[in-house]
Structure 1
Amino acid sequence: MNGGSIRGCRAGNLARLKRPGGDVLRGDLVEKAAGGVLGDPARLRAVGRLGLGAHADVAFDRIADLVERLVDAPVALVTVLSADRQFLPGQVGLPEALASAREMPLTHSLSRHVLEAGRMLVVEDVRADPAMRDNPAVHDLGAIAFAGVPLTDSDGHVLGTLAVMDREPRTWTRSEVALLVELGEICSSELRLRIAREIADEARRHAESAHDQLSLLGELTETLSATMDIDKALGRLGEMVAGRLADWCVVALAEPSGIVRHVSAAHFDPAHASAAGRLAQLAADAPREMKALVAAMQRTSGPIRRDHADPKSLHTRMTTAEIAEIAERLGFGSYLVAPITAPVGRRTIGVLMLVNGVERGAFGEAEEGTAAEIGRRAGLAVDNSRLYGRQRHVAEVLQHSMLPELPDIPGIELHARYLPAQVGAAVGGDWYDAFVQPDGSVMLAVGDVSGHDIEAAATMGQVRNLIRGDAYGRDDEPGPLLSHLDRALHGLSMPAAATAVLTRLRRAGDGYDLTFSNAGHPPPVLLRPDGEVEVWWETPEPLLGLVPRDDRSTHRRRVLPGSTLLLYTDGLVEHPAQLIDDGIARLREVLLGNAALPTEDLCARLLTTVTRRDDDIALLVIRLT
């Protein structure tokens, strides 16, 4: 137990006692304090749960005061011993310096001998005791007589003592010893109650943390699967993790070649957002450290966790001094690095680095498991994104190979746009076409095969070619041509359902004769030379490929030079929350008064009306001169 000073000890000795990291703890005593009973992990866990550091505790001060009065001893103490310090949550009789400091090194602890013995010690004169006589407390504190009873937890670990000291040799009476033992039991009961409460609180916090981490994993899965833009997804991942699993984090992703292609950082405190962004930028511009971190992850079998990190060491490990400065400013007390792993082969393709400042504390096993799971889910998202990228490239090449090169026709200016959807395989069944007949008339078509995948694009190519092959060289109007296409789709057993507008345009005098047929498609729109807009609504007719129809209608219009005809697919005008009429109304507003606008600029303006890109868009603009 600790030797509390009696009155009259020297100020220099007291200063040595209250200094937490003083040079008095060394040699054999250091070795004993670091190991044995003092260093028992289970005992230290119990001490940690008490939370009794270098500060007074009202309950234990009262017990010390009661002991001092009942035993009539100059000094009474309630002590708790860590691995290297003795804390004094309860005391009476110590000089002011120690009474305020509430701690001392183990070199001056007489209670340490109670802990090591595991039983009560009663000493009339410590100067005659071989184990205690060399204790500095004898000289520095004037501790001569000592009696201490161990304070234990429910598992029997000695956590501290209830002790009394006198500055003169003293024979402790049987009643004094019995009283000390009885009050020691009261102290032990209080310690056990506090440990039980802390264990219950730990269980509650663990349950809450587990729930929060499960919620985090669910939200991350939803976020990662909501977009194929992996840079956006990983940036969002960091924002979600910061504050819920760590103070701040860094996410880095490497290409198969080893080149770091993505670095993002996030901090839970918005005030540090710019610093985190700057750190990510520096790491991306000088990626040696990130490459080394990825390589280190590839050499290990799991996460790397450091409970105590020295921020000063960053300055020797980082080639860019500003990175170390920012990391130290953000807080670098502990860290946890988990690999981002590809689902096939479990290859490490990136890292998730979680960092806590000193105030938040170290990471535990629960956080380590959650970080590892986040790395696995992020790896799956990265793999899906790369697969999507490859599919997107193939689909776009396929789509553009099927879209025709528009012909150069005197008096008719053609301009077309195709925009793939921003979801799915980035390709679908939308198409446009224009070709000149042997008689000089021009066939124009826009259509949409149902579906948003490579199969839809392949079917679209077949339908477009059927229209071309059937219509070329024939004088039939668009209605009969679409009826014949309907029969061909059924006769060839093509699993296609498509909308289409087919138009024949003929020069006639000072203008144009235009005929068209509409199979379930959005109506053509005409911008007249005077700037007015016509929407060619007609009675709806069924889609191609559903039920063969022999009487599809042909509609006729007279079109003046200077007019602009707009054929388009529904991706330009449809929205799940709106009627198609609303989308066409938006087109009309853009077109009104813009008869002289170049067709390329007109296309660009029309595309700005699109509010949602979850469908392909095919757009064919025909300017008649």
Structure 2
Amino acid sequence: MLRGDLVEATGGVLVDPERLRAVRRLGLGARGDAAFDRIAVLVERLVDVPVALVTVLEDDRQYLPGQVGLPEPLAEAREMPLRHSLSRHVVEAGQLLVVPDTQADPLMRDHPAVHELGARAFAGVPLTDSDGHVLGTLSVMDREPRAWTHSEIAVLVELGEVCSSELRLRIAREIADEARRRAESAHDQLSLLGEVTETLSATMDIDEALGRLGRMAAGRLADWCVVALAEPSGTVRHVSAAHHDPAYAKEAERLAQLAAAAPREMKSLVAAMQRAALPIRADSADPASLRARISPGEIVEIAERIGLGAYLIAPITAPVGRRIVGVVMLVNGPARGAFGEAEEQTAVEIGRRAGLAVDNSRLYGRQRHVAEVLQHSMLPRLPEIPGVELHARYLPAQVGTAVGGDWYDAFVQPDGSVMLAVGDVSGHDIEAAATMGQVRNLVRGDAYGRDDEPGPLLAQLDRALHGLGMPAAATAVLARLRRDDDGYEVTFSNAGHPPPVLLRPDGDVEVWWETPEPLLGLVPRDERSTHRRRVQPGSTLLLYTDGLVEHPAQLIDDGVGRVLRELQGSGAVPIEELCTRLLDTATRRDDDIALLAIRLR
């Protein structure tokens, strides 16, 4: 087809998004390609021309993956601005273009390629994809006017089809790779959602859970991540940040600290999310605009250093009332690129699951507070006794709602002796706590005003539990403390409970091991043993529940040994500090701990 048959170029073809998407799938840039170089050499020989080119056109430049005959530095550069391209006329027209003499052609006579490359004759055929988009050309140039023959044009068309077939094959391969990557990404994101759910449900500490969430999203879904949570009042209660590159860990931590110290900005971000009620996605961030809106400016400076490009902000949505209570902000540096629809859907689902965790945490917090108030209301106020210093601690488990069956008690008998008790009713629920209250009251009611030793008192308690039909299984140590002329006498009985421990004034420690006797509430025993010890003034007696010394992977002896090592040499340590030290040694926090310390003056 001669130049006069060329349809008027529209210019819009070059920027057609579908055409550009196909060009970019080829991955051909400013570099040579062996396959297309071979085709250019073949054309140069068969058509007998000084210059043969395989071109691919972007919206602003022309790449030359195949060429022969171009002068340097163009031959090395493999690209040129679009204004220097003769092939653009082929792409815009979408059909064969044959020009015998460019200087005689009104459109081409002033073209830069005519003067700079000496292109006096030109012929080009379009290279197309499977959808008919023209991606580039197979073209030839001569430095003299030339009447192109039909056989030369036929060779050019045939080899153009070979080029088009190669382009289509590469595009099809890339589409298949994209589908595979999408499938892998979908699988990875599905796996990520499963891990997020497991992480959020593994702890009721919402700050810890959201911190873990950010660390999981960084690298898997984005380069870095910021998670912010607001209270119903609007107060920002949590900000955490994580980067996939450990080298930026300190920078991310500093960014989170600055953001937490700038609640206005965080509240504004959450409020914007509440107004939009949809994810916010942008392919690029404007640092200048951010600096104008965010104070301190160091936040934006850090963001630029760790990579500020595309971003995606998804709401953390509480299921009750669909309230937006926070945001998950995902950010990519320039190298990673923009977020897609799949990432947006995953981020929204992460926000939904995080919102459920927030609601569960708040509900758990309220239940735990009520449970702790209930538990402490059941524990007695210790009496003030001349010469005897009493100190007690109750530490709830870190799991569940903190209601358990652990208890302690101390009260003065009419004869001046002091009854001491520590026990543990099996179970970790409201029923265990209620049973604990009943058992403690039975001990008080049965023991008060009686001279019986602890063994008979525990035997009577055992009979009462069976006679009253109380479904209780409990361990307990019951002791009576009496003052005599030169010290104290302690008598005690142990029903399946960890042994009492005595810390002497000189710092030595002894454990009151005795032959184990059954728990209360199992099989009634007519008799239970009473054991007797002499204790010198200045000593500290410790009664405690098994949460202090037990661990699933250890024997109770190991836990008792740990307590002994902590107590050794601590005879002069204040009793409150001593109790704190002991509780700090506890390795198992899925059980309550009751601790009663008695220092004898």
Given the two structures, how large is their TM-score scaled by the length of structure 2? 0.92
Q: Percent identity?
A: 82
Distance 1:257 1:93 in 2: 73
8 Å CA contact 2:100–2:147 kept in 1: the answer is: yes
| 2:571 alignment partner, one of 588, 591, 595 | 595
Distance 2:122 2:287 in 1: 45
| 1:613 alignment partner, one of 589, 593, 598 | 589
- Aligned position for 1:235: 211
Distance 1:335 1:62 in 2: 43
- 2:334 maps to amino acid: V
Distance 2:75 2:400 in 1: 72
Deviation at 1:69, TM superposition (A): 2.5
- Aligned position for 1:403: 379
Which runs of structure 2 are paired with 1:581-592 in the superposition (5 Å)? 581-592=557-568
Which runs of structure 2 are paired with 1:203-602 in the superposition (5 Å)? 203-602=179-578
8 Å CA contact 1:43–1:159 kept in 2: the answer is: yes
| 2:126 alignment partner, one of 145, 150, 158 | 150
Distance 2:103 2:348 in 1: 58
| 1:62 alignment partner, one of 38, 49, 63 | 38
Give SS of 1:440's match.
Answer: coil
- Aligned position for 2:3: none
Deviation at 1:195, TM superposition (A): 1.8
8 Å CA contact 2:503–2:510 kept in 1: the answer is: yes
Given the alignment of the two structures, is residue 118 of structure 1 paired with residue 94 of structure 2, yes or no?
yes
Give SS of 2:64's match.
Answer: strand
Q: Over residues 146-204 of structure 1, what are the superposed CA-to-partner deviations in whole Å (9 max), with x where a residue is unaligned?
A: 22112122333221111112344422111111111111122112212222322232233
Given the alignment of the two structures, is residue 109 of structure 1 paired with residue 75 of structure 2, yes or no?
no
Give SS of 1:439's match.
Answer: coil
Deviation at 1:140, TM superposition (A): 5.5
Deviation at 1:591, TM superposition (A): 2.9
Over 3 Å counting, the alpha-carbon distance change for 1:316 and 1:68 in structure 2 is: farther
Q: How many residues align?
A: 595
Distance 1:135 1:462 in 2: 102
Over 3 Å counting, the alpha-carbon distance change for 1:605 and 1:205 in structure 2 is: same
8 Å CA contact 2:277–2:315 kept in 1: the answer is: no
Give SS of 1:332's match.
Answer: coil
- 2:435 maps to amino acid: T
- 2:419 maps to amino acid: M
Distance 1:366 1:243 in 2: 16
Distance 1:423 1:350 in 2: 26
Deviation at 1:127, TM superposition (A): 5.8
Distance 1:53 1:340 in 2: 42
Distance 1:526 1:148 in 2: 101
- 2:560 maps to amino acid: I
Give SS of 2:136's match.
Answer: strand
Deviation at 1:244, TM superposition (A): 2.1
Give SS of 2:46's match.
Answer: helix
Deviation at 1:73, TM superposition (A): 2.3
- 2:172 maps to amino acid: A
- 1:410 maps to amino acid: P
- Aligned position for 1:48: 24
- 2:189 maps to amino acid: Q
- Deviation larger for 447-456 or 266-275: 447-456
Q: Considering only aligned residues, what root-mean-square deviation do their CA atoms show, in Å?
A: 2.5
- Aligned position for 1:20: none
Q: Over residues 244-284 of structure 1, what are the superposed CA-to-partner deviations in whole Å (9 max), with x where a residue is unaligned?
A: 22111111111111121211111122222222122111111
8 Å CA contact 1:423–1:614 kept in 2: the answer is: yes
Given the two structures, how large is their TM-score scaled by the length of structure 1? 0.89
Deviation at 1:47, TM superposition (A): 1.0
Over 3 Å counting, the alpha-carbon distance change for 1:288 and 1:624 in structure 2 is: closer
- Deviation larger for 248-257 or 51-60: 51-60
What are structure 2's unaligned runs of at least 5 residues? 1-7
Deviation at 1:57, TM superposition (A): 2.0
Q: Over residues 497-553 of structure 1, what are the superposed CA-to-partner deviations in whole Å (9 max), with x where a residue is unaligned?
A: 221111122233433332222121111122344544332222222222333333233
Over 3 Å counting, the alpha-carbon distance change for 1:603 and 1:101 in structure 2 is: same
- Deviation larger for 519-528 or 123-132: 123-132
- Deviation larger for 218-227 or 185-194: 218-227
8 Å CA contact 1:425–1:454 kept in 2: the answer is: no
Over 3 Å counting, the alpha-carbon distance change for 1:594 and 1:238 in structure 2 is: same
Distance 1:375 1:341 in 2: 6
8 Å CA contact 1:311–1:333 kept in 2: the answer is: no
Over 3 Å counting, the alpha-carbon distance change for 1:144 and 1:317 in structure 2 is: farther
8 Å CA contact 1:50–1:194 kept in 2: the answer is: yes
Deviation at 1:70, TM superposition (A): 1.9
8 Å CA contact 1:255–1:349 kept in 2: the answer is: yes
8 Å CA contact 2:312–2:344 kept in 1: the answer is: yes
Given the alignment of the two structures, is residue 175 of structure 1 paired with residue 114 of structure 2, yes or no?
no
Distance 2:40 2:58 in 1: 20
8 Å CA contact 2:102–2:114 kept in 1: the answer is: yes
Deviation at 1:65, TM superposition (A): 2.4
8 Å CA contact 1:356–1:362 kept in 2: the answer is: yes
Give SS of 1:243's match.
Answer: helix
Distance 2:513 2:299 in 1: 64
Distance 2:271 2:129 in 1: 46
Deviation at 1:215, TM superposition (A): 3.0
- Aligned position for 1:201: 177
Over 3 Å counting, the alpha-carbon distance change for 1:295 and 1:127 in structure 2 is: farther
8 Å CA contact 1:486–1:549 kept in 2: the answer is: yes
The list of structure 1 runs, each at least 4 consecutive aligned residues, that deviate by more than 6 angstroms after superposition, is none
Given the alignment of the two structures, is residue 188 of structure 1 paired with residue 159 of structure 2, yes or no?
no
Give SS of 1:227's match.
Answer: coil
Give SS of 1:38's match.
Answer: helix
Q: Over residues 317-376 of structure 1, what are the superposed CA-to-partner deviations in whole Å (9 max), with x where a residue is unaligned?
A: 323221111111111121111111112222211111111111112222222222222212
Q: Over residues 544-575 of structure 1, what are the superposed CA-to-partner deviations in whole Å (9 max), with x where a residue is unaligned?
A: 23333332332233333333211100011111
Deviation at 1:118, TM superposition (A): 2.9
Distance 1:446 1:143 in 2: 103
Distance 2:152 2:234 in 1: 74
- Aligned position for 1:77: 53
Distance 2:354 2:450 in 1: 57
